[in-house]
Structure 1
């Protein structure tokens, strides 16, 4: 029973890694059709430098696909990306044994036990902010959160899935891709 429950938990957590939770917000007065270039104001730091570079490359690729051009400095939009991680825990309690007397209506004693297992896991969040370079006002924010997988291949897949979902309806006002 414990092995089955552990397997189900592992499947649920791995499903979270492939389907990140994404939120986006945009300034309704921002004219995204006037933006053609962007510059990096802040690239992600901390953690693996390979993952940081994959995030930067992934954002660059998605903005390029939307018709934007990277400018070394002075772009129409300044992009800042940050990564944050936190530890979360779940508690799983399993009850086993039998209870004599049902719900106490026979006056019997409960003869069972319970086992509680603590599962600790990391949650990673990617935050991407965009600012109008002329006004220095925020125009867009996107966040993608997911359970951090334990293998580099799964981390890379989670980064790609998060970026795909984050930029699916970018710029604001465009329909999300199926």
Structure 2
């Protein structure tokens, strides 16, 4: 029983922060050796955060042997969507009896206002074939954001986002 509860909790935690990807299975990913950032990128980030994200992407792709270029094989487009997810918490109260021939039960929930909403950001990375101007891979990751985070914490957060998303690139074909 205890093992089952632990397994359910781990599955729920794992599903909260997953990377979602989609790609064109007909694409030969090994043909992309150079990259650049989409010229008309509107990331939705402020300039400081956009620099943090692009620097993290550039550093990661360079470690994989790719080269930043003015005439790239692929463009990287980054965009974000910010939203607030309601934070709900309550305490349940129950009264009941379970005799041999029946049962009676009453229950209710009392909301506990710990905090109002949790700020979240969905970060999307589109990889676009520069020659054909076609999307061939997309990675999406949702992260909780703190508005009062230090510059170092923001840099670490975006570095983690880039690492998680690009851990799925190139896709492992089955």
**TM-score normalised by structure 1 residue count:** 0.71
Provide the rounded CA distance (Å) in 1 between the counterparts of 2:91 and 2:63. Answer: 49
Task: Specify the alignment match of 2:7 in structure 1.
Answer: none
- The offset of 1:123, in angstroms, is 1.1
Provide the rounded CA distance (Å) in 2 between the counterparts of 1:136 and 1:113. Answer: 56
- 1:121 corresponds to which of 118, 121, 126: 118
- The offset of 1:59, in angstroms, is 0.8
SS class of match (1:149): coil
Task: Specify the alignment match of 2:169 in structure 1.
Answer: 170
SS class of match (2:44): coil
- The offset of 1:102, in angstroms, is 4.4
1:89-168 alignment to 2 at 5 Å?
A: 89-95=86-92, 99=95, 102=97, 114-118=109-113, 119-150=116-147, 151-152=149-150, 153-168=152-167
Task: Specify the alignment match of 1:35 in structure 2.
Answer: 32
Task: Specify the alignment match of 1:45 in structure 2.
Answer: 43
Q: Verify the 8 A CA contact 2:21 2:168 in the aligned structure 1.
A: no
Residue 56 of structure 1 pairs with residue 54 of structure 2: yes
Q: Which runs of 5+ in 2 are unaligned?
A: 1-12
**TM-score normalised by structure 2 residue count:** 0.72
Q: Which runs of 5+ in 1 are unaligned?
A: 1-14
Task: Specify the alignment match of 1:67 in structure 2.
Answer: 65
